[in-house]
Amino acid sequence: MRSPGHSRPPVAGATGSLVFTTVLTGGPLSRADVAVRTGLSAAAVTKAMKPLADAGYLVEVEETAEDQGARRVGRPATPVRVHAERCYFAGVKVTGDELIGVVTDLQATVCAVRHRPLRSGAVEDVVTELAALVSELLGESDSYRASFGGLGVSVGGDVDPESGMVRYSPFLGWRQVPFVALVAAATGLPVRLENDVRALTVAEQWFGSGVGAGSFAVVTVGTGIGCGLFVNERVVSGAHGVAGEIGHLPVDKDGPLCHCGNRGCVEAIAGNSAILAQISETTGAEVADLASAIELARNDPAARRVFAVAGHAIGMALAAVANFLGPERIVISGEGLAAYDLFSEQIRTTFAEHAFGAAGDCDLIIRPLSFDDWARGAAAVAIQRFIAPHTS
Amino acid sequence: MRSPGHSRPPVAGATGSLVFTTVLTGGPLSRADVAVRTGLSAAAVTKAMKPLADAGYLVEVEETAEDQGARRVGRPATPVRVHAERCYFAGVKVTGDELIGVVTDLQATVCAVRHRPLRSGAVEDVVTELAALVSELLGESDSYRASFGGLGVSVGGDVDPESGMVRYSPFLGWRQVPFVALVAAATGLPVRLENDVRALTVAEQWFGSGVGAGSFAVVTVGTGIGCGLFVNERVVSGAHGVAGEIGHLPVDKDGPLCHCGNRGCVEAIAGNSAILAQISETTGAEVADLASAIELARNDPAARRVFAVAGHAIGMALAAVANFLGPERIVISGEGLAAYDLFSEQIRTTFAEHAFGAAGDCDLIIRPLSFDDWARGAAAVAIQRFIAPHTS
DNA sequence: ATTAGTTTCTTGACGGCGGAAAATAATTAC
DNA sequence: GTAATTATTTTCCGCCGTCAAGAAACTAAT
């Protein structure tokens, strides 16, 4: 499979990346603003922007007559923004039974989505399907291939972005799989691999609620309960590939048995399947999926009680995160949040009770999440790689 | 109070700091080794070392005949080490009822120790006493004042090193105290303030078990249970001044009531006073201090059981830290560790049970801690400030 | 309309600093 | 002694960011 020449990142060095990301994450900004935000001199900003503008990554915003209201004296600023369509990226999240793929532009706006069921979890099959999916996605518009920046792939489990290895993925049953090499060979594209939750954290860092925060955490509520951490200017990876593992935080030592062997883990109480099991058990009703469980809870107090208990468990987890890291914000997201109105109050109450001192000051931000957002996270990893290769 | 000119840090820029800290923390190293470790070129290392050597901070090691055993061909390397006596630092830990002060050399080796009771916790009184203590300490040798690098002060609570403010200290009952300014005025010395646990973490980072680790955590077991975190090349401070607050991690929802209002916090089970209370209650014996409690536990199974329960709680906390951050190492320290043999097994068992996957691979390092070590931590902060001002 | 005042952006000179390569140094292996 | 090998130093080069001095593009007076 031959592929056209991919766009080379035009980023000169650290300063170029810094300026680029500042504009990317900070919306349209004048050069003077960028200078202030980055701490660079105005001259340095001008010089750093030159090649980026020449290559078409940055463009000056057309002045729309009466710009920002309070215009002061002096030469008016010329805001610069990212030319989002200059370059496209693909992101694929690999789950145990499905591939989710997206194409995004430079600002991580999703341009195309495709899902593809996985019949087999064998490495070769996954690679083949993945290559086919990406090929389909990039086939949707000529622009995608013509100016392609990179492919990001995210997998749950212990993953090493540097070596491109999936060290261990429980869902797929993989160990020591050189996934990047395989996917790169099959697609001919530049590939970057990352853990799924960390990929989501990267997306949040640059394109979501993490923008401007010195530290934040992303807590995902779904089948499992996960957590991505951003501290000291970087996403936390963990020395052994594990980090942000809050799903097995013990909440109730007499609680339900968790698959990890202990009792009363957050995940065993507030994970989607745990909720379903509890509701079935408590009410005797047959609930097949979360949607019907939510439906039921709207009328059945016993079912509602299950959600409250789950909310309590989540609140405990959030408080633990806040106490531990003291992040500026915690973003709570995940498919499980469809039932947010059922959780909400209990989450906040428990959080407030257990957050210690000033740790309780951290913002709790709710952000429902679609499955596609996981793939978008993978694309965000590719974008980050493209713009700031040294960072990750 | 006039003071002689303090040593100016001879550190040129980031590279100078990097080279200096590499030698400081890595023992004697040849220039070639430093180049490898830092990723700099050999030329850059030579250049960076020049002014440091000229100023007497680095010295070449005398070759002691038969150096390292396996000497290979080629020009022999000239190891360089830090001249520890080139410069002295003071560190003071402020507690509710006592000041603990030390003088250390450049390698944080303690050269002098003094304690000083605090009759009053009023800000002015503490400042006065602190100045007197430091003056006494520095009076112990002419060298101290002659080549003094800086004073570090550590306080428990919410502290902002940048502004030099104690934002809130529960033990002292202080709020918004500009402590650095006051101490600097009273002593005429360059002063740096830091939270007590973070100061200890800095000491560990440069002069203890944190050396060479990309990430680690320090868990202190004493009256309270605290935790300092080092991730992504820096100590974690928390957006709101709170970080590493694991003392109130819930372990047993039916456990003893904690002063924070919840039940079964780690601290309410494994904190020193909690242990004493439990032992008194369980055995009916009067135990005044931890030492007698330990004594008792060696013979009394019921008392021993209290330590086991405490060990379990600590193990849970350690597992939470490991799961959360995935640090390379966890250093467990504190006065409470005098009873280490009583805790040990239970700590490790519980940790192994609750550490998730690869998070359990992290090293657990036991390091008993004296009260003086807290002051040494404060001195380490001053040393870090002296050598790498930009870092913190 | 002209002039002064302001703020933004650009340009060019300058300097610090790290890397590459060559020179120098100090030993071991023959 | 000569060659090989490794460490350190020196010299030179180029990148990159700051500083200072314009140039540009407006507003506000006069």
Nearest protein residue to the C1' atom of C11, measured from CA: A43
Q: Is the CB of A12 under 7 A from strand D?
A: yes
Model confidence at A6: pLDDT above 70: no
Same-domain check for residues B250 and B275: yes
Q: Is the CB of A14 under 7 A from strand D?
A: yes
The pLDDT assigned to B2 comes to 39
Residues B243-268: pLDDT tens digits? 999 999 988 888 888 888 888 899 99
pLDDT band, very low/low/confident/very high, at A4 (cuts 50, 70, 90): very low
A121-132 burial: b if 16+ Cβ within 10 Å, else e: bebeebbebbbb
For A326, name the nearest residue in chain B, comparing CA atoms only: B238
* Contact call for A243 and B316, based on CB within 8 A: no
Q: pTM of this prediction?
A: 0.93
Same-domain check for residues A23 and A53: yes
Same-domain check for residues B220 and B358: yes
- Are the C-beta atoms of residues B368 and B78 closer than 8 Å to each other? no
- Residue range A24-30: mean pLDDT, rounded: 92
Sign of the four-CA dihedral B9, B10, B13, B16: negative
Average per-residue pLDDT in chain B? Answer: 91
Distance A389 CA to D26 C1' (A): 40
The pLDDT assigned to B1 comes to 41
Q: Is the CB of A135 under 7 A from strand C?
A: no
Tell me if chain A has a CB within 8 Å of the CB of B10.
no
- The answer to the question of residue A361 being in a domain is yes
Across the interface, of B158, B239, B356, the residue whose CB is closest to A214 is B239
Residues A125-160: pLDDT tens digits? 999 999 999 999 999 999 999 999 999 999 999 999
- Residue range A245-274: mean pLDDT, rounded: 89
CA distance B205 to B146: 28
- The answer to the question of residue A47 being in a domain is yes
The pLDDT assigned to B336 comes to 73
Same-domain check for residues A219 and A348: yes
Q: Is the CB of A41 under 7 A from strand D?
A: yes
A217-235 burial: b if 16+ Cβ within 10 Å, else e: bbbbbbbbbbbbbbbbeeb
Tell me if chain B has a CB within 8 Å of the CB of A390.
no
Q: Is the CB of A132 under 7 A from strand D?
A: no
The pLDDT assigned to B9 comes to 67
SS3 category, B46 = helix
Q: Is the CB of B163 under 7 A from strand C?
A: no
A62-71, B338-347, B371-380: least confidently modelled range: A62-71
CA distance A22 to A35: 10
Tell me if chain B has a CB within 8 Å of the CB of A251.
yes
Same-domain check for residues B93 and B197: yes
Q: Is the CB of B42 under 7 A from strand C?
A: yes
CB contacts under 8 A, B 175-214 vs A, are 213-214
CA distance B374 to B154: 8
The CATH number linked to A31 is 1.10.10.10
CA distance B306 to B318: 18
Helix (H) or strand (E) holding A148: strand A148-155
For A219, name the nearest residue in chain B, comparing CA atoms only: B324
Same-domain check for residues B225 and B280: yes
- The answer to the question of residue A2 being in a domain is no
- Are the C-beta atoms of residues B375 and B101 closer than 8 Å to each other? yes
Residue A208 CB: number of other CB atoms within 10 A? 23
Contact residues on chain B for A250, CB-CB shorter than 8 A: 250-251, 316, 354
Across the interface, of A168, A321, A356, the residue whose CB is closest to B248 is A356
Same-domain check for residues A216 and A360: yes
- The answer to the question of residue A146 being in a domain is yes
Same-domain check for residues A67 and A101: no
Same-domain check for residues B231 and B273: yes
Same-domain check for residues A316 and A379: no
CB contacts under 8 A, A 149-168 vs B, are 158, 168
For B328, name the nearest residue in chain A, comparing CA atoms only: A239
Residues B153-175: pLDDT tens digits? 999 999 999 999 999 999 899 99
- The answer to the question of residue B115 being in a domain is yes
Distance A76 CA to D24 C1' (A): 10
Q: Is the CB of B78 under 7 A from strand C?
A: no
Lookup: tokens for A319: 């408080």
- Residue range B174-202: mean pLDDT, rounded: 97
B172: nearest Cα among B100, B94, B115, B119: B94
A318: nearest Cα among A353, A271, A276, A294: A353
Give the domain extent around B34: 13-82
Distance B47 CA to C22 C1' (A): 17
Beta strands (DSSP E) in chain B are 58-60, 80-82, 88-94, 98-105, 110-117, 148-155, 158-160, 165-169, 174-177, 191-195, 216-221, 225-231, 234-235, 329-334, 363-368
CA distances from B31 to B27, B52, B64, B77, B391 (A): 12, 13, 18, 8, 23
Lookup: tokens for A181: 């090499």
Model confidence at B8: pLDDT above 60: yes
* Contact call for B236 and A234, based on CB within 8 A: no
- The answer to the question of residue B40 being in a domain is yes
Distance A48 CA to D18 C1' (A): 14
Same-domain check for residues B153 and B188: yes
CA distances from A236 to A85, A201, B120, B321 (A): 30, 10, 43, 13
Per 3-state DSSP, chain A is made up of helix, strand and coil in percentages (nearest 5) of 45, 20, 35
* Contact call for A214 and B240, based on CB within 8 A: no
Which of B57, B82, B107 is at the close of a domain?
A: B82
pLDDT band, very low/low/confident/very high, at A299 (cuts 50, 70, 90): confident
The pLDDT assigned to A344 comes to 84
Q: Is the CB of A69 under 7 A from strand D?
A: no
Distance A37 CA to C3 C1' (A): 35
- Residue range A312-318: mean pLDDT, rounded: 94
- Domain count for chain B: 3
Which of A62, A82, A102 is at the close of a domain?
A: A82
The CATH number linked to B307 is 3.30.420.40
Same-domain check for residues A90 and A78: no
pLDDT band, very low/low/confident/very high, at B80 (cuts 50, 70, 90): very high
- The answer to the question of residue A6 being in a domain is no
Residue A349 CB: number of other CB atoms within 10 A? 14
Distance B209 CA to C12 C1' (A): 51
- The answer to the question of residue A8 being in a domain is no
- Are the C-beta atoms of residues A244 and A357 closer than 8 Å to each other? no
Minimum CA–C1' distance nucleotide for A78: C8
Q: Is the CB of A74 under 7 A from strand D?
A: yes
To the nearest whole Å, the CA of B328 is away from the closest chain A CA by: 5
Size of interface A-B (CB pairs under 8 A): 156
Tell me if chain A has a CB within 8 Å of the CB of B241.
yes
- Residue range A284-311: mean pLDDT, rounded: 86
Distance B156 CA to D20 C1' (A): 48
Classify residue A117 by burial, with Cβ atoms within 10 Å: 0-12, 13-18, 19+. Answer: exposed
